[in-house]
Amino acid sequence: MASILNRAMLHGGDYNPDQWLSSPDILARDIELMKQAHVNCVSLAIFAWSALEPEEGVYTFDWLQNVIDRLYENGIYTVLATPSGARPAWMAQKYPEVLRVDETLHRNHYGDRHNHCYTSPIYREKVWEMDSRLSKAFGNHPGVILWHISNEYSGACYCPLCQEEFRRFLKKKYKTLDALNAAYWTGFWSHTYTDWSQIEAPVPRGEMLLHGLSVDWHRFVTQRTVDFFNWEKAAVRAGGSELPVTTNLMSFYYDLDYTKFADSLDLVSWDSYPSWRTDPRGDVAVAIHTAMAHDYMRSLKRQPFLLMENTPNQVNWKQINRLKAPGQNLLAAMQAVAHGSNSVQYFQWRQSRGGNEKFHGAVVDHYGEPDTRVFREVAEVGKTLEQLAPLCKTCPQPQVALILDRENEWAIDEACSPRKPMRYEETLESHYQAFWRLGIGVDVVSADADLTPYRLVIAPMLYMYREGVAEKLRAFVEAGGTLVGTYWSGLVDENDLCYLGPTPAGGMHEVFGVRYQEIDPLRDTDENAMTWNDKTYALHDLCELVEPLADRWVEEGEDGPTACFAANEKTAEILACYEKDFYAGYPALTVHNFGKGKAYYLASRAEDAFYVDFYTKLAGELSLSRALDADLPEGVTATLREGEGCKVVCVQNFNTEPVSISLRTPVRPFGEPDGEAVTTLSLPGYGFAFVTP
Ligand code: GAL
């Protein structure tokens, strides 16, 4: 029979029976309660190293065997973790090198978790031994479906072993010191390296101003982490298990470029902890941010993913840990599914009695019985997911790509750029929210992604053009694609070295029909404006002064010399101009026909309303399909999953108030082929509906 991964939605969460081994009654009760909560899958052993190897070389797997067996007998599958995210005290005491060195170059003491060196040969050896033994013991158990490798890989180690690896990484990349010096422009302030051993990781009391070095360090940290992941994966394979592997990612986690994990992962999974009812911008903004996170995670492999963790009601690690209101847990679960998740898993199943997370929300709290609001709502999620099993083989398949490029973001932030903050991710979200409001799917991809599946590509603030990027964007437009680029684009190469000549580089100025001249950063209290399609929009943050590639000359008039332009086919058409400051009249929004396609250039950051109007028009012109043929009320979105002849739209209302949506094309309730087609959808506050177009 096909794995449950391919035939059902998973529902369950992190289960830590190792904390309850002295209470067999509780372990037995867990299974009864799981069945009541419609749980079909739990993640085991994530932080269980002490229970699995209490002394060096003494492996105690019996308890785990019992738990996996009993779960399986009761129809509950296991996602089995490797416990490398936290290690036993005996190991750190005997082998201090397993502990991490921080950026002050001091070695951490034992404590916390995720406190390990990714290079330490001893840590790698211990992890190999543990993972391969777990694989041998359980990797072919019929109840085990997936490997959960480690937990939320994060952070970096600055120990001498890691620094040596960093130098090795640089040698491999640059081959000669001359090449490295040239790439980093080290002649500036006499920072020229004359021996590889002089190179150190960027740290606060050391070299923080060689931007190329800093970006390379970020790349190295990603490479080390992926390498460690691959080491763990190889250990699992060496133990004889061919089950798929995942690791739980953290969506927009800044310090890793998750796109580099994509090839190693069989399945993407991630942990989602939105600030519902807390974020001062309100829950609709939280919904948009979370939707974009789901899309970013799904786009890593352009396949369904797993929601590996979320909380049934509250976390305990933010400043204010508000509860999800009634209905919000179910809606957040359905939002994940709408964007391509094939699971809804919680942290955690049973609330711990002690330790750091004793007041973190859990399905079963300290009271221990199912007659709680949280338990009832979780059970409802489980029941709902059972009806959604046919969605497993479907996935959103957007025609729009938004480029979120992590290396680009690091480079923008490391450089002494025109203003701080540059607001890269917020800017992307400003573009994204327009599509959310329109109910048009978006993939969130890196600048290295294949653009052929898309009709519209949006590349805001793509400051770094790595090799091949300009060529690809150009080819995309030439072949008929529509590209939206913005200010602060195409200025540097992959080492943060500025391109000489016209920019956006790589001939992209010809694609946009404009070229960069200067950029004026605004204070938070400053605003400029532009008028487009009879509406005036505020502009913020950065105003770029671009020069259209027009024929130019100066005429002497009565009031002195005036610059004159004459359009030619190389120049962009000006759609809107700045209205204030000395650059009033300069282009703020342009479009240029290039090849069979079109390239828009937005020279400043506009208020959100602009993106909604702009992309509504573009969506119409490009006939981009909307999930629902309707104008969606504020706070409502619709998401389409499709595949294997099945099309399902999930309509979600993030308002506390009910909404009614008039449809231009009728839909039927999902799963009821003979159900009545309707032209109005009414959703309660926090309501949702699955419908078939
Ligand atoms: C996650 C982590 C879990 C748990 C959870 C609490 O980041 O993977 O182990 O700590 O947060 O919200």
Same-domain pairing of 459 and 369: no
The CATH number of the domain holding residue 43 is: 3.20.20.80
Same-domain pairing of 496 and 460: yes
From the CA of 317, give the closest atom in ligand 1: 12
Residue from 77, 73, 75, 8 nearest 42 by CA: 77
Q: Which of 496-510, 562-576, 622-636 shows the lowest per-residue confidence on average (mean pLDDT)?
A: 562-576
User: Does any domain span residue 519?
Assistant: yes
The rounded distance, in Å, linking the Cα atoms of 189 and 406 is: 28
From the CA of 46, give the closest atom in ligand 1: 9
Same-domain pairing of 270 and 324: yes
The rounded distance, in Å, linking the Cα atoms of 685 and 423 is: 32
* Residue-range definition of the domain harbouring residue 440: 400-622
Same-domain pairing of 428 and 290: no
User: Does any domain span residue 187?
Assistant: no
pLDDT, tens digit (0-9, with 9 covering 90-100), for 394-444: 999 999 999 999 999 999 999 999 999 999 999 999 999 999 999 999 999
Question: Residues with Cβ < 8 Å from 355, sequence gap 6 or more?
Answer: 19
Q: What is the pLDDT of residue 376?
A: 98
Residue 152 annotated among the catalytic residues of the structure:
yes
User: Does any domain span residue 226?
Assistant: no
pLDDT, tens digit (0-9, with 9 covering 90-100), for 310-333: 999 999 999 999 999 999 999 999
Catalytic residue among 53, 165, 309, 377: 309
With H, G, I as helix, E, B as strand and everything else as coil, classify residue 386: helix
User: Does any domain span residue 565?
Assistant: yes
The CATH number of the domain holding residue 646 is: 2.60.40.1180
DSSP alpha helices (H): ranges in 139-246?
160-174, 177-184, 211-238
Amino acid identity of residue 280, one-letter, is P
pLDDT, tens digit (0-9, with 9 covering 90-100), for 126-148: 999 999 999 999 999 999 999 99
Same-domain pairing of 556 and 640: no
Whose C-alpha lies nearest to ligand 1, atom 1?
271
Same-domain pairing of 588 and 667: no
The CATH number of the domain holding residue 474 is: 3.40.50.880
Cβ(247)–Cβ(264) under 8 Å? no
DSSP structure string for 598-658: EEEEE-EEEPHHHHHHHHHHHHHHHTPPPSSSSPPPTTEEEEEEEETTEEEEEEEE-SSS-
The rounded distance, in Å, linking the Cα atoms of 385 and 388 is: 5
Q: What is the pLDDT of residue 665?
A: 96
From the CA of 273, give the closest atom in ligand 1: 12
Cβ(352)–Cβ(16) under 8 Å? yes
Residue from 304, 561, 611, 253 nearest 410 by CA: 253
572 CA → ligand 1 middle, Å: 50
Residue from 152, 306, 324 whose mutation best tests the ligand 1 pocket (most atoms within 8 A of CB): 152
pLDDT, tens digit (0-9, with 9 covering 90-100), for 17-75: 999 999 999 999 999 999 999 999 999 999 999 999 999 999 999 999 999 999 999 99
Cβ(564)–Cβ(555) under 8 Å? yes
Residue from 309, 311, 346, 360 whose mutation best tests the ligand 1 pocket (most atoms within 8 A of CB): 309
Domain edge (last residue) among 363, 392, 421: 392
Structure tokens at 489: 């684009």
Ramachandran class of 155: left when φ > 0, alpha when ψ lies in -120 to 50, beta otherwise: left
pLDDT, tens digit (0-9, with 9 covering 90-100), for 620-655: 999 999 999 999 999 999 999 999 889 999 999 999
Structure tokens at 32: 């009864």
User: Does any domain span residue 228?
Assistant: no
Dihedral in degrees, nearest 10, Cα atoms 183, 300, 298, 481: 70
DSSP alpha helices (H): ranges in 141-184?
160-174, 177-184
Whose C-alpha lies nearest to ligand 1, atom 4?
347
User: Does any domain span residue 162?
Assistant: no
Q: What is the pLDDT of residue 285?
A: 98
Whose C-alpha lies nearest to ligand 1, atom 5?
347
33 CA → ligand 1 middle, Å: 22
Same-domain pairing of 561 and 423: yes
Q: What is the pLDDT of residue 644?
A: 86
DSSP alpha helices (H): ranges in 423-556?
424-438, 469-478, 508-512
Residue 380 annotated among the catalytic residues of the structure:
no
Domain edge (last residue) among 375, 392, 409: 392
Same-domain pairing of 404 and 508: yes
pLDDT, tens digit (0-9, with 9 covering 90-100), for 460-480: 999 999 999 999 999 999 999
361 CA → ligand 1 middle, Å: 11
Residue 567 has pLDDT above 90, yes or no: no
362 CA → ligand 1 middle, Å: 11
User: Does any domain span residue 292?
Assistant: yes
- Using CB atoms within 10 Å of the CB of residue 14, give its burial: 0 to 12 exposed, 13 to 18 middle, 19+ buried: buried
Structure tokens at 100: 């991490």
With H, G, I as helix, E, B as strand and everything else as coil, classify residue 227: helix
The dihedral of CA 217, 223, 224, 225: what is its sign? positive
Same-domain pairing of 590 and 664: no
Beta-bridge partners for 574: 590
71 CA → ligand 1 middle, Å: 23
Domain edge (last residue) among 344, 371, 392: 392
The rounded distance, in Å, linking the Cα atoms of 279 and 107 is: 36
The share of the chain scoring above pLDDT 90, in percent, equals: 95
Same-domain pairing of 427 and 482: yes
Pocket of ligand 1 (CB under 6 A): 151-152, 271, 273, 309, 315, 347, 357, 360
Residue 564 has pLDDT above 80, yes or no: no
Same-domain pairing of 8 and 36: yes
Q: What is the pLDDT of residue 560?
A: 85
User: Does any domain span residue 50?
Assistant: yes
Dihedral in degrees, nearest 10, Cα atoms 366, 369, 373, 377: 110
Q: What is the pLDDT of residue 465?
A: 98
Q: What is the pLDDT of residue 2?
A: 82
Same-domain pairing of 454 and 365: no
pLDDT tier for residue 9 given thresholds of 50, 70 and 90: very high
Cβ(300)–Cβ(251) under 8 Å? no
> Domain total for the chain?
3
pLDDT tier for residue 244 given thresholds of 50, 70 and 90: very high
